[in-house]
Chain A
Amino acid sequence: EVELLESGGGLVQPGGSLRLSCAASGFSLSDYAMTWVRQAPGKGLEWVSVISGTGGITYYVASVKGRFTISRDTSKNVLYLQMNSLRTEDTAVYYCAKDRLRSIAAAGSMDMWGQGDLVVVSS
């Protein structure tokens, strides 16, 4: 069964760091582009970051560039989002999602999502 399971969320103070994990089962992360999408409380969806199936290409939304890093461990089949210098506006449920395709050039359609993990940035 294809499944994504996020973990690592929680409460962190402004300026702090947190690493989200997304364990994939039923498929290999090497075969698909993988994305992080977030949703602030009561708000809509915002794309955050994507990594290609090869792992060689990564992109970020402007508001997190330089603070967040997407990566993966193919031996463990786990996707990560390292979040540094966190701000209150980063408070959201973070979803990892599998793309329909491997190449970033053709990606953008997320056909499998994790259950989401809440990150709260507050003092």
Chain B
Amino acid sequence: DIQMTQFPSSLSASVGDRVTITCRASQKISDSLNWYQQKPGKAPKLLIYSASTLQSGVPSRFTGSGSGTDFTLTINSLQPDDFATYYCQQYYTTPAWTFGQGTKVEVK
């Protein structure tokens, strides 16, 4: 199975900060990568698919980039609603989809 490694595992930030989360695949996955946001007690929410395509309804401050093995999720001007845990997920190897371990974005 393809292993997905996210870093950092957690970070502290303030409203208005620019936040970057990195996800690395154990082998090349082209652009077959999603980003999800999850808040405590809630279901995940799709933010970005195909590495860089913003899901409908998601604010434009979220951007995704990367291809191959290295990917990033950037949140420009962090908002109070953005404090959550973020997961990357590869879907290159259908159907053995795998998630990263998550990155928790906390209030500084």
Q: Does A59 contact B (CB under 8 A)?
A: yes
Q: Is the CB of B49 within 8 A of A47?
A: no
Question: B98 on the interface (CB 8 Å rule)?
Answer: yes
* Contact A95–B32 (Cβ < 8 Å): no
Tell me which of A61, A95, A108, A114 contacts B91 (CB under 8 A).
Answer: A108
- A44, A95, A107 — most chain B CB neighbours (10 Å): A44
**Scoring B residues 34 to 65 as 1 if CB is less than 8 Å from chain A, else 0, what string do you get?**
10101000111110011000010000000000
Cβ contacts A to B, 9 pairs, < 8 Å = A45-B44, A45-B99, A100-B49, A110-B34, A111-B46, A111-B49, A113-B43, A113-B44, A115-B42
Chain B nearest CB from A41 CB (Å) reads 12
A104 to B91, CA, bound (A): 10
Contact indicator B100/A44 (Cβ below 8 Å):
yes
Closest to B50 in A: A109
Q: What residues of chain B lie closer than 8 Å to A115, measured between beta carbons?
A: 42-43
Interface string of A86-109 (1 = CB under 8 A from B): 000000000101001000110111
Q: Which of A8-64 contact B (CB under 8 A)?
A: 37, 44-47, 50, 59, 61
B87 neighbours in A (Cβ, 8 Å): 44-45
The answer to the question of B95 belonging to the interface, with a C-beta cut-off of 8 Å to chain A, is yes
Q: A108-B94, A113-B44 are in contact. Are A46 and B34 (CB under 8 A)?
A: no
Give chain B nearest CB distance to A87 CB in angstroms: 20
Distance between A96 CB and nearest chain B CB, rounded to angstroms: 10
For the complex, give the distance between the alpha carbons of A118 and B73 in Å. 30
Q: Is the pair A59, B49 in contact by a Cβ cutoff of 8 Å?
A: no
Q: Which residues of B contact A116 (CB under 8 A)?
A: 43
A95 and B46 form a contact (CB under 8 A): no
Could you list 9 further interchain pairs (A-B, Cβ under 8 angstroms) beyond the known A46-B99, A104-B94, A109-B91? A47-B96, A50-B95, A61-B96, A108-B91, A109-B46, A109-B50, A110-B34, A111-B49, A115-B43
The CA of A7 and the CA of B46, in the complex, are separated in Å by 22
Please determine whether A105 and B94 come into contact, CB atoms closer than 8 angstroms.
yes
Q: Which of B34, B90, B97 has the most CB of A within 10 A?
A: B97
